């Protein structure tokens, strides 16, 4: 293993020659990460932090995606209770001293103070649309359908609310980098699926806020990662994000059927992250050492060694055997 994992990862992100292709995988630490609220139950942050520290100390991953279990909710309950798009339109920005900022910065700093010189750290931030879907009661598909309906009924009101949330996300991104000490952000978003939501609608109503977050992050760090989320089989048109200004892109290569080498063509030869499926029936979770290492060799052979970071489509199961992740790293070291 390289003496400086952080330098290895930054070289890979810059598309430079590396002694081995780095890899990184992540999983949730709370039992119900979507509905957990660390702002109301601070002990959840203690559990989250303890899990992160154990993983980083024991496994020493090449890089760290800082998980934000418990920090998913935005600090305005209108996202939970609004019965119409018009009700959302009155959302106002949070104050600089709101716990939504300060608690997340404190959590990030607790990790970067300890590990920031050893490993690159990327703080997970969800886009406004994903936060909306997480905060509503009901199943994800129903929440997405509701969002699509509201965007078509009163897109101006939804955009106004999402622009406010995105402005706070942009402030959070900058403060997490500057005050929290992270290398960059890991910005998660996905296509909104529903009647009437074509790319043109998304670009007009949703994309401006997302691009604002990334532009703000880039002012403080060039090392930001875009995650086009394919969790639970959600399908995305990757081309919607072709012009999003990031250093690297992670998408669900297995779910979308678009391998790393093909995705690089879509994203202008930027660095790419991923390759492995993240589900319990995928090779990374269920495979033998020989199978996992053969898949590692195949991914590197097809995608090359420059501008590549091995990872998964999305979060891997909590109970994955960490030895499987080490087998990936071992195989990458001999390619």
Torsion angle in degrees (nearest 10) through CA of 145, 149, 150, 156: 120
What angle do helix axes 322-334 and 43-59 make, rounded to 10 degrees? 40
- What confidence score (pLDDT) does residue 2 get? 45
CATH code for 5-334? 3.20.20.210
- What confidence score (pLDDT) does residue 146 get? 97
> Which H or E run contains 260?
helix 260-266
- Which token pair is 198? 């074509």
- What confidence score (pLDDT) does residue 138 get? 87
List the strands of the sheet with 225-228, edge to edge: 63-66, 120-126, 184-189, 225-228, 248-251, 271-276, 308-312
Q: Is 47 exposed, middle or buried (0-12, 13-18, 19+ CB in 10 A)?
A: middle
- What confidence score (pLDDT) does residue 34 get? 93
Cα–Cα distances in angstroms (integers) from residue 306 to residues 17, 23, 46, 326, in the given order: 6, 13, 38, 21
C-beta of residue 35 within 8 angstroms of C-beta of residue 69 = no
- Which token pair is 212? 């604002």
Q: Map out the domains of the chain as residue ranges.
A: 5-334
pLDDT string in tens for the chain (335-residue length): 445 999 999 999 999 999 999 999 999 999 999 999 999 999 999 999 999 999 999 999 999 999 999 999 999 999 999 999 999 999 999 999 999 999 999 999 999 999 999 999 999 999 999 999 999 998 989 999 999 999 999 999 999 999 999 999 999 999 999 999 999 999 999 999 999 999 999 999 999 999 999 999 999 999 999 999 998 889 999 999 999 999 999 999 999 999 999 999 999 989 999 999 999 999 999 999 999 999 999 999 999 999 999 999 999 999 999 999 999 999 999 98
């Amino acid at each position: 293993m390289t003496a400086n994992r952080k330098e290895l990862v930054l070289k890979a992100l810059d598309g430079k020659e590396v002694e081995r292709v780095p890899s990184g995988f992540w999983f949730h630490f709370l039992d119900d990460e979507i509905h957990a609220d660390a702002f109301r139950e601070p002990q959840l942050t203690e559990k989250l932090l303890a899990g992160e520290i154990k993983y980083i100390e024991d496994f020493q991953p090449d890089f760290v995606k800082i998980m934000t279990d418990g920090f998913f909710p935005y600090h305005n309950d209108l996202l939970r209770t609004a019965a119409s798009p018009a009700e959302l339109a009155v959302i106002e920005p949070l104050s600089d001293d709101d716990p939504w900022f300060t608690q997340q910065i404190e959590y990030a700093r607790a990790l970067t103070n300890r590990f920031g010189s050893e490993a690159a750290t990327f703080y997970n931030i969800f886009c406004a649309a994903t936060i909306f879907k997480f905060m509503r009661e009901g199943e994800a598909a129903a929440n997405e359908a509701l969002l699509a309906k509201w965007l078509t009924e009163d897109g101006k009101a939804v955009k106004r609310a999402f622009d406010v949330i995105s402005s706070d996300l942009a402030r959070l991104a900058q403060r997490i980098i500057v005050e929290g000490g992270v290398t960059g952000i890991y910005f998660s978003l996905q296509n909104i699926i529903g009647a009437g939501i074509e790319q043109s609608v998304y670009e007009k109503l949703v994309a401006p806020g997302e691009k604002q977050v990334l532009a703000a992050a880039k002012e403080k760090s060039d090392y930001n990662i875009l995650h086009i989320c394919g969790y639970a089989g959600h399908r995305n048109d990757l081309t919607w994000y072709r012009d999003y200004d990031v250093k690297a892109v992670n998408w669900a290569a297995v779910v979308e059927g678009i391998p790393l080498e093909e995705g690089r063509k879509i994203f202008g030869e930027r660095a790419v992250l991923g390759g492995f499926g993240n589900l319990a029936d995928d090779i990374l979770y269920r495979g033998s050492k020989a199978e996992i290492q053969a898949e590692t060799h195949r991914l590197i052979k097809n995608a090359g060694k420059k501008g590549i970071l091995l990872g998964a489509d999305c979060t891997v199961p909590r109970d994955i055997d960490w030895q499987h992740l080490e087998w990936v790293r071992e195989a990458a070291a001999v390619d």
